[in-house]
Structures are given as structure tokens and as C-alpha cells.
Amino acid sequence: MASIQNITVLGATGSIGQNTLDVIRRHPDKYRAFALTAARSVEQMLADIAEFQPRYAVMVDPQAAQQLNNQLPPDGAATEILSGDEALAMVASHEEVDQVMAAIVGAAGLLPSLAAAQSGKRVLLANKESLVMAGPLFMQAVEQGKAELLPIDSEHNAIFQSMPESYTGELSAHGIDKILLTASGGPFRGKSRDDLTAVTPEQAVAHPNWSMGAKISVDSATLMNKGLELIEACFLFHCLPEQVQVVVHPQSVIHSMVQYCDGSVIAQLGQPDMRTPIAYGLAWPERVEAGVKSLDLFEIAQLDFMPPDEISFPCLRLAKEAFAAGGTMPAVLNAANEVAVDAFLRQELSFTAIPDLIEQVMKRHAVQQIEQLQTVLDADRWARNCAQQLMTEESL
């Protein structure tokens, strides 16, 4: 690997972004934060500029960029403050950048993640939504841009680590029977649909094992996160949904597994700490220290496994149906989910209405094939409008 790697961190102020900066902080001889981006968290960005002195800081919101500029101390002058979506794409594809951590939440991550792939960067992909929305186009951009795609989602990182290094994109060619995608089950595991009607955003974001941003925490509670991850796995590892089995494993110690035809199952284990997959992606094929405490198996003592409950948590089924429908349907699923989760967090929609709303939007969608990015963006916009309209029309 070249001397010091220049890193762009998209979504630097978020949960993955801050964990990425923590790994970078531990290895100033290996990694440099070249550009940091955020939507509007001025305070966090100010602190990160002071510490990491990046060349660029992008605030997508122009007012936040203005505020940041006003508050920048004189020694912050080494950092150029930019704003807007074009600036995001610029720092994701800048010729001096080696690696891009794609950690913006939701559909907003698609265009800058694609820009990184098209320009041949090592893409550390946390933003699973971009693969769900535009999987075929994203994988094509990786291939055409000669990018390196390394999964940061802990499950996909575990699968990557459990696969042969020579993996060519065909499970059977490597004697792989199936992928075992683990799920914690979230904070409401074991609850019936009736138990779930009155749950609050506070309860939903209180994940038992992981500390994450609000949107993915709610996705974990509905099991939509596992649905999105199933689609993500199919694109990343070029396999069929039938070859991916979801296994609920409440301790979140095994991060996923690969089952081989000779009866072997290879797993990756670790603390529920995203710095492990982040450090793995940054250093691959080497390893660097990540600040993660080592696993104490005697403390864990027990590992449990059970099938997912698709009756109480219909989002997993909806994601499978969206992937089976193909074309624009996964983008529609994703967009409707973003609107529903946002409304739930604002207490405008109940927890159990999240899957209901998504299903209603999916039912109204006429699937289109996605040869063009614009088709995906149009489907995303259509689904958001449809979900908003349904929320005002119906008492979901």
C-alpha cells in the first residue's frame, strides 16, 4: 500500500463516520482525513476540523456551511469549506483520494458513493441503501471504474472474511452452499405484533448490542435492516436470496457465516464494535489495531440461534418481495421505508404502521427496469410522494 492513504469520510459526523475517524486517529502514519462531509452538524465538524485539519469540509446544507465558515478559528484556514451535492461528489472522486468511507445515511448516499466507485477508489461501503436502490448500476460502476469495494456492514464484512480470497462471484464454484446472515433480532425480539403497536421511538432506538444512528436503529427494530442486508448480500456476493439464510443470534458475537458443501461453516466473531470492520476495510489485506477490546468467550459463555419472526416483523418479507420484483422495486421499498421511519421518529406514524405504509406504496408501484440512474432517482421520488400522500389520506 502507498505511504499515507488519503481518506474521504462521507457522513463524518455520524456513528460510522466518528468510528472511522477514531481508527484514523490511531494511525497517523497510515491514514489522513483528506475530506470530511456532513449534512448540518456544525459543532462536531468544527471539532473534527480542529483535530484532523482536512483539506476539505463539506456541509451539504448551505446555511450550515456558512455557520461553519463563521466559526472557523484562524488555524482552520487550511480547510476549505464547501457546500452542496456537487461538492460531495467532488471530494468522493478527487484525484488525491485513495479511499472513500461511504457512511451517509439513506438514499442521499447514492450519488457520492457512485462517484467514488466510478473514479476507481477503494470504496468502504457502509451506506447499504445505495446498493439496495441501484445494485446493478453500482456493481457496474465498481467494475468499470476498477474500484475496490469492501463491505463495512458488519455482517457483509464477516461474510467477506469467511469467503475464499479468490472468490469469483459464484458460490458453487467455491463449494459454498449458503451464506448465514446473522441478525440480533433488535430490541423487540420475542414480541407479538399486538405488543408492538404502542412502542416509542426511544424504545426502538435503544438497540441491545450496537450503538448506531437513529434510522438504522429503527430499521434493526423492524427487521428492515436485515431485509436491506439480504439484498445487499445478493449484490455484493452475486448470489440468490435463497442462498442467504437469516439467522437470529441475539448476542451479536458471530457477525455472519459461510457454509461449505463439506459441512464446514466459517464464521467471523468479534465485539459489536464497528471499528473492527472499518479497520479491516482501511487496512485490507493487512490488519491494523482498531481500539477494540478482545473477545472474552468465557464472559459470553453462550451463543443462541433462532429463525426470524416474519409475522411480527413483516419488513423482512417485504424486502424479499421487493428484490424478487426487481428493477425499481427495491428503490421504492427503501424510499417508502425512509419516509415511514422519519414519520415514526417524529411520532406521526406508529411502529406497526411502518410495514403497512411500505406495503401500500409497493402495491401501487409499476416496476421499471433500471438501465439508467435517472429511473432509480425517479422511482425514489415517486415512492416518497406516494408515501407522504398515503399518510395524509389514511390513518395508518
Positions touching ligand NAD (CB under 6 A) are 11-17, 38-39, 41, 60, 103-105, 108, 126-129, 153, 210, 212-213, 215-216, 274
Residue 232 touches Mg ion, criterion: CB under 5 A:
no
Query: In whole angstroms, how close is the CB of 376 to Mg ion at the nearest point?
Result: 22
Q: How many angstroms separate the CA atoms of 111 and 119, rounded?
A: 12
Q: Are 289 and 31 in contact (CB under 8 A)?
A: no
- Per 3-state DSSP, the chain is made up of helix, strand and coil in percentages (nearest 5) of 50, 15, 35
Residue 39 interacts with, from Mg ion, ligand NAD, none (CB under 5-8 Å by kind): ligand NAD
Q: Which three cell numbers stand for residue 379?
A: 422511482
Q: How many angstroms separate the CA atoms of 45 and 63, rounded?
A: 14
Nearer to Mg ion, 100 or 224 (CB): 224
Residue 180 interacts with, from Mg ion, ligand NAD, none (CB under 5-8 Å by kind): none
Query: In whole angstroms, how close is the CB of 181 to Mg ion at the nearest point?
Result: 9
Can you tell me whether residue 275 is helix, strand or coil? helix
Residue 273 interacts with, from ligand NAD, Mg ion, none (CB under 5-8 Å by kind): none
Q: How many angstroms separate the CA atoms of 130 and 127, rounded?
A: 6
Nearer to ligand NAD, 9 or 396 (CB): 9
Q: How many angstroms separate the CA atoms of 38 and 42, rounded?
A: 8
Residue 205 interacts with, from ligand NAD, Mg ion, none (CB under 5-8 Å by kind): none
Query: In whole angstroms, how close is the CB of 61 to ligand NAD at the nearest point?
Result: 8
Nearer to ligand NAD, 52 or 396 (CB): 52
Q: How far apart are the first and last CA of the chain?
A: 53
Residue 222 interacts with, from Mg ion, ligand NAD, none (CB under 5-8 Å by kind): none
Kindly tell me the sign of the dihedral angle through the C-alpha atoms of 315, 316, 319, 325.
Answer: negative
Burial of residue 26 (CB within 10 Å: 0-12, 13-18, 19+) is middle
Can you tell me whether residue 374 is helix, strand or coil? helix
With CA atoms as reference, report the closest residue to 207 among 152, 148, 147, 274: 274
Nearer to ligand NAD, 103 or 137 (CB): 103
Nearer to ligand NAD, 87 or 370 (CB): 87
Q: How many angstroms separate the CA atoms of 236 and 233, rounded?
A: 5
Residue number closest to ligand NAD, CB atom: 14
Q: Where are the alpha helices (DSSP H) in 27-109?
A: 42-52, 62-71, 85-93
Type and span of the H or E element at 47: helix 42-52
Query: In whole angstroms, how close is the CB of 229 to Mg ion at the nearest point?
Result: 6
| Positions 143 through 162 that interact with Mg ion (CB under 5 A) | 153-155
- Other Cβ atoms less than 10 A from the Cβ of 200: the count is 12
Query: In whole angstroms, how close is the CB of 197 to ligand NAD at the nearest point?
Result: 26
Residue 129 touches Mg ion, criterion: CB under 5 A:
no
Query: In whole angstroms, how close is the CB of 32 to Mg ion at the nearest point?
Result: 27
Query: In whole angstroms, how close is the CB of 39 to ligand NAD at the nearest point?
Result: 4
Number of H helices, E strands in the chain: 17, 11
With CA atoms as reference, report the closest residue to 54 among 71, 26, 84, 78: 78
Residue 60 interacts with, from ligand NAD, Mg ion, none (CB under 5-8 Å by kind): ligand NAD
Q: Which three cell numbers stand for residue 117?
A: 466507485
Residue 103 interacts with, from ligand NAD, Mg ion, none (CB under 5-8 Å by kind): ligand NAD
Q: Are 389 and 346 in contact (CB under 8 A)?
A: no
Query: In whole angstroms, how close is the CB of 197 to Mg ion at the nearest point?
Result: 26
| Beta-bridge mates of residue 179 | 244, 258
Nearer to ligand NAD, 97 or 126 (CB): 126
Query: In whole angstroms, how close is the CB of 274 to ligand NAD at the nearest point?
Result: 5
Nearer to ligand NAD, 107 or 239 (CB): 107
Nearer to ligand NAD, 171 or 248 (CB): 248
Can you tell me whether residue 8 is helix, strand or coil? strand
Nearer to Mg ion, 119 or 154 (CB): 154
Query: In whole angstroms, how close is the CB of 154 to ligand NAD at the nearest point?
Result: 6
Nearer to Mg ion, 83 or 182 (CB): 182
Chain residues binding Mg ion by CB under 5 A are 153-155
